[in-house]
């Protein structure tokens, strides 16, 4: 199957059958989204959603967080992965937003990546959700699903990102990230993918290669 045909079939399915796909992180502002995405690195959205209500009650905006100490923030996020580093990064992020961006969460990917704790994936998520930038964040789910389906042979998240952006129209990129992520989270799981209930096996390169043996 040609790569273009594979993309067309897979994303036509998503467009027709999954018209709504959003982040499962809970947030009510650009500040809350950025904090939640930083916390979600190597951690489940469910766990993040458990800790952020108290965190946001204590630090309702970026100015309040910038005035906290990492030790204080740690007390609210100690149940997430790598809480010490994330506490330092959250406070550092808030102070840089106040000092360098007049208290506003920046909109472009490069500026977002300059913030402590915000790598390319985090920057792309925030830019896509908040500002509808035509970028695709490649986390572990998107990376795995894209390679299994045959959308990319890229060996790194950046390589997969470039392949996806080459073939997916700009207007579809924000929701395409969520389509692939949620498919990986609930169907094309890491250890035991649910191929028997997957609607994409007809176009899946990994499934075809295994069933052909």
Owner of token pair 């904090």: 35
Owner of token pair 């060996």: 155
CB 165 within 8 A of CB 135: yes
Q: What is the 3-state secondary structure (H, E, C) of 117-146?
A: CCCHHHHHHHHHHHHCCCCCCCCHHHHHHH
CB 7 within 8 A of CB 167: yes
Owner of token pair 């209930």: 197
What does the alpha-carbon distance between residue 33 and residue 56 come to, in Å, rounded to a whole number? Answer: 11
Q: Which residues are catalytic?
A: 121, 139
What does the alpha-carbon distance between residue 163 and residue 161 come to, in Å, rounded to a whole number? Answer: 5
């Amino acid at each position: 199957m040609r790569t273009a045909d594979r993309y067309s079939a897979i994303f036509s399915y998503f467009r027709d059958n999954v018209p709504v796909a959003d982040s499962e992180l809970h947030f009510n502002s650009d500040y809350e989204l950025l904090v939640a995405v930083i916390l979600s690195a190597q951690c489940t959205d469910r766990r993040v959603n458990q800790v952020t209500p108290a965190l946001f009650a204590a630090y309702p905006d970026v100015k309040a967080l910038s005035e906290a100490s990492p030790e204080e923030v740690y007390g609210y996020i100690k149940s997430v992965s790598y809480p010490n580093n994330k506490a330092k990064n959250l406070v550092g992020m808030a102070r840089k937003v106040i000092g360098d961006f007049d208290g506003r969460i920046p909109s472009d990917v490069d500026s977002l990546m300059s913030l402590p704790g915000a790598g390319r994936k985090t920057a792309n998520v925030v830019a896509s959700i908040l500002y509808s930038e035509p970028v695709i964040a490649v986390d572990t789910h998107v990376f795995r699903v894209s390679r299994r389906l045959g959308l990319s042979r890229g060996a790194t998240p950046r390589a997969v990102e470039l392949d996806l952006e080459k073939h997916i129209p700009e207007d579809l990129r924000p929701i395409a990230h969520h389509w692939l992520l949620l498919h990986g989270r609930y169907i094309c799981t890491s250890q035991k993918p649910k191929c028997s209930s997957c609607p994409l096996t007809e176009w899946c390169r990994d499934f075809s290669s295994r069933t052909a043996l």
